Amino acid sequence: MKITFSNPAQPTKGIAVVFSAERGKWSDSAAKLDTKLKGALKRAAKASRFEGKRGQTMTVLAPTGSNLERVLCVGVGKPGDMTFENMTELGGKVFAALKGAGTAAAVCADAFDKSSLKAADVAAAISYGALLRAYKFEKYKGKEKQSKDPVIGSMAVHCQGAPAAKSRYAKLAKIADGVYFTRDLVSEPPNILYPAEFAKRLKRDLTKLGVKVTIMGEAQMRKLGMGSLLSVGDGSARESQMVVMEYNGLPAAKKKGSQPISFIGKGVCFDTGGISLKPAGGMEDMKWDMGGAGVVSGLMKALAGRKAKCHVIGAVGLVENMPDGNATRPGDIVESMSGQTIEILNTDAEGRLVLCDVLHYVNEKYKPQFMVDLATLTGAIIIALGAERAGLFSNNDKLSERLFDAGEAMNERIWRFPLGKEYDKDLDTDAADMRNIGGGRGAGSITAAQFLQRFVGDTPWAHLDIAGVTWSKKDSAVVPRGGTAFGVRMLDRFVADHYE
């Protein structure tokens, strides 16, 4: 979808999009268009009880004599409540309302009295939201099977301060590139996106943005002592990989010796459960058990794409968890890179076995300011939070608060859970330093986080369990159903607010 920006102008063809605040307070452009249409908008609003509440829409067929096809009227709610983020969501709703139009759309973006947003802000936000919502994944459908809805031909956005709107949107589009990258990775079928292919795509797509991408195979990881990560892929014909991505956008004078921030992702490209085999029903969903690695990859693309002024390490452990004669058995004991030994009682609790070695590696090699890991780690977090929030676990209050605030701002919400010795002791076992699951059914997400905490030392650390929010079966404002890329925009905001 092509989006262009220009100075205010009355739409003359296609579909016009105009806005209204509550209680019939039309924007300047809407009022002018209504005059041109001889009051058609106000009459339609009265008849259909369109009141300008945020998210409310009304479509009006253009009267005879106009070259317009129709007018889409969109409510922004109370002007004092307008924020860039909720206007972004409104942009997604605008796209959804226009989807299938197959013609040009002209959006008249205006400022409203009592709103802190300028017209350029509204224009950039609406455009960004439309772009996020426009994503679709149909590459494996034949042409005759692809969506029959014609896309919007183009979207021209008219506003005061068009150059400023265009400039702001250009940076936002780079974040959207990261979101799209994550959604693509998560949506790929597992026969296509196995560990080596995942690593190849990171090298191909990120290197050209100035990201240093290092790929390690099994031989290198074995030399490092990553017995925990490697045990997960023992049953697969596909070789496990670890990919480390480094981006340093700091000014030249500050690059040398800078302490990076770091993000670590679980990348189980397909999870059968291993010898502890999952039920067949729903196993196809386990293609997105690499969602954490997908988010870290998309975040690196977003940061590098918009030339963020920060030093970032992204690291992902990529494996396939398959059952065969070489697969890890329940009862096996492995040694992690940290030297701690792990008794594996359930091979379907594999994500933590991957993450613990990557966390230790990043901590030891890069001495980061903090580590944030993301993983579709436990079904228990879905029981606790559903599909509305991700779970947050952390050893640092300041880090937790910053992540929480970024999540609230971007509507990618998280909720903090407790950690403590009473949960940690549930991992103790007679046979090794720890076992990979707790002793009962309770607190499964917490004991998983406690396991990871044993590998982070004193470094500030946060774990985001995104099992419930990585894939959606329904559309939302800026997220079409499918891979959500939950976390990319939140973490980009988190970095922008505190580490640039």
Q: At what angle do helices 488-498 and 291-305 cross, to 10 degrees?
A: 50
Catalytic residue among 278, 329, 413, 416: 278
CB 432 within 8 Å of CB 341:
yes
Would you give the distance in Å from CA 487 to the centre of its chain?
4
- How far is it, in rounded angstroms, from Cα 155 to Cα 94? 11
Concatenating the DSSP letter of every residue in 330-352 gives: TT-EEE-TTS-EEE-S-TT--HH
Q: Collapse the DSSP code of 407 into the 3-class scheme (helix H, G, I; strand E, B; otherwise coil) and give the result.
A: helix
Catalytic residue among 166, 352, 435, 493: 352
CB 139 within 8 Å of CB 483:
no
Q: Collapse the DSSP code of 431 into the 3-class scheme (helix H, G, I; strand E, B; otherwise coil) and give the result.
A: coil
Is position 78 annotated as part of the catalytic site? no
**Token pair of 151 as six digits:** 């896309």
Is position 278 annotated as part of the catalytic site? yes
Exposed, middle or buried, 252 (CB in 10 Å: 0-12/13-18/19+)?
exposed
**214 bridge partner residues:** 244
Sheet holding 341-343, edge to edge: 333-335, 341-343, 434-435
**107 bridge partner residues:** 17, 157
Catalytic residues: 278, 352
